[in-house]
Amino acid sequence: MVKSLLLALPRGYCAGVDRAIETVERALTLYGRPVFVRKQIVHNSHVVRDLECRGAVFVDDLAEVPEGATVVFSAHGVAPAVRTEAHVRRVNSIDATCPLVAKVHAQARRYAKSGYTIVLIGHAGHEEVVGTLGEAPESIALVQSADDAERIVLPPDRPLAYITQTTLSVDETNEIVRVLRRRFPHIEEPAREDICYATSNRQWAVKELLPEVDLLLVVGSRNSSNSLRLVEVAHAGGVAAHLVEDVAAIDERWLDGCDTVGLTSGASAPERLVAEVCAWFRARGAEVRERPGAHEDVRFKLPAELRRAERAARHAA
């Protein structure tokens, strides 16, 4: 029988996710239903369903968006070709790309303009990586693992730099970077780490939790990179861990022999899902405690296109 549930702090929404969700909500208020969203606004199925109920329509391709309609680009960012297509199709686009992802895009453009070959550390097919590759496809080589870094062949006559996806495992990324630096001693690194503060903080909070728990539950969706990384951090620390979409996904057999269970959530998971898991454990007699952790007070401005349109609407009223 589980005696206690220990909550990691920080957990849940990051500033980029907050900004992206609020962007869709305020676009719905401003323009009415429907507001289209290219891809999932953030990688969480509950968030997507909630916004669909309010009038958001999620599409995979801009061809599904009628001319003149409003479309929001997701927090993961898009390639320049997508922005061009939106202009050609004459849709009203609002770019909810996380500012920390936009920073990586800007780095890619600067390096490419200066003639660098760029190593992008990330996961193939992830929307953030697709968008970053699109910034300079002729200049970027993707590396997904330390083995890739050992094998990659790079031009000997061009300067080198690396950038990273923002939602990676800190430890795994450091391992890849060590290989790149050994093989290419002059490779340049970002002025500031590309892995976002929220990803790093949540991984660190899990590491701090591990010595005190027998099992870790991570609330998040299967396509959430940062949520998957939290499970991997636990496994690397020798603690069993499971990713759960919500409380309904908990298998009570996992709890056999566990005195203390740890709980955290990915950066795109609503806190209400964590609260439901806490209530589930309380109903079974467990004490719920929160472990102290880093305080986060980061806030990002809403997209400029949305702020301008809201100002114009207020002036017209």
Q: Is residue 316 part of a domain?
A: no
Q: Which CATH number do you get for residue 165?
A: 3.40.1010.20
Would you call 128 a catalytic residue per the annotation? yes
Cβ 153 vs Cβ 175: under 8 Å: no
Are 87 and 127 in a shared domain? no
User: Is residue 300 very low, low, confident or very high in pLDDT (cuts 50, 70, 90)?
Assistant: very high
Beta-strand runs (E) in the chain: 4-7, 35-38, 56-59, 70-73, 92-95, 117-121, 140-143, 160-164, 215-219, 240-244, 260-265, 287-290
Residue type, 162: Y
Residue 275 confidence (pLDDT): 98
Are 77 and 8 in a shared domain? no
Cβ 69 vs Cβ 37: under 8 Å: no
The whole-angstrom separation of Cα 308 and Cα 317 is 14
Mean pLDDT of the chain: 97
Q: Is residue 276 part of a domain?
A: yes
Are 66 and 78 in a shared domain? yes
Are 93 and 105 in a shared domain? no
Q: Is residue 315 part of a domain?
A: no
pLDDT digits (tens, 9 = 90+) for 138-148: 999 999 999 99
Last residue of a domain, one of 137, 153, 183: 183
Are 204 and 277 in a shared domain? yes
Last residue of a domain, one of 38, 68, 97: 97
State which residues form the domain around 176.
Answer: 100-183
pLDDT digits (tens, 9 = 90+) for 156-192: 999 999 999 999 999 999 999 999 999 999 999 998 8
* Residues whose CB is less than 8 angstroms from the CB of residue 114 and which lie 6 or more positions away in sequence, other chains included: 159
Residue 317 has pLDDT above 80, yes or no: no
Q: Which of 85, 127, 128, 245 is catalytic?
A: 128
Number of domains the chain contains: 3
Are 82 and 126 in a shared domain? no
Are 72 and 107 in a shared domain? no
pLDDT digits (tens, 9 = 90+) for 190-211: 988 899 999 999 999 999 999 9
Are 91 and 23 in a shared domain? yes
Are 115 and 49 in a shared domain? no
Last residue of a domain, one of 152, 183, 214: 183
Residue 68 confidence (pLDDT): 95
Q: Is residue 299 part of a domain?
A: no
Are 167 and 216 in a shared domain? no
Residue 193 confidence (pLDDT): 86
Are 216 and 158 in a shared domain? no
Q: Is residue 190 part of a domain?
A: no
